[in-house]
Amino acid sequence: MSEEKELTFEEAMKQLEEIVGKLEAGNVPLEQAIAFFQEGMRLSKWCHDKLQHAEKQMEYILREDGQLAPFSIEEE
């Protein structure tokens, strides 16, 4: 888990895309494919958690007085 703290979201996504590419190529031995799959699932969960955290941050906007306030979209 400490590795993820050093990764950026973009780096994790790049690693995940590389794993998917290797698995899609279809020429990976079974044991290595399982290891790639497990690593891909770990990276996917990490990216998902990062996105959820960012989404929660986006629910608030910084008001002019520097205070955080809930953000809502008003429909017309």
- Digit-coded pLDDT (tens) for 9-36: 999 999 999 999 999 998 999 999 999 9
| Mean pLDDT of the residues in the chain | 84
User: Is the pTM of the predicted complex or chain greater than 0.95?
Assistant: no
Contact 40, 20 (CB under 8 A): yes
Q: What is the pLDDT of residue 21?
A: 95
Kindly report the backbone phi and psi dihedral angles of residue 36, in degrees, each rounded to the nearest multiple of 5, phi listed first: -60, -45
The CATH-assigned architecture of domain 8-68 is Orthogonal Bundle (1.10)
Task: Say whether pLDDT at 51 is over 50.
Answer: yes
What are the boundaries of each domain within the chain?
A: 8-68
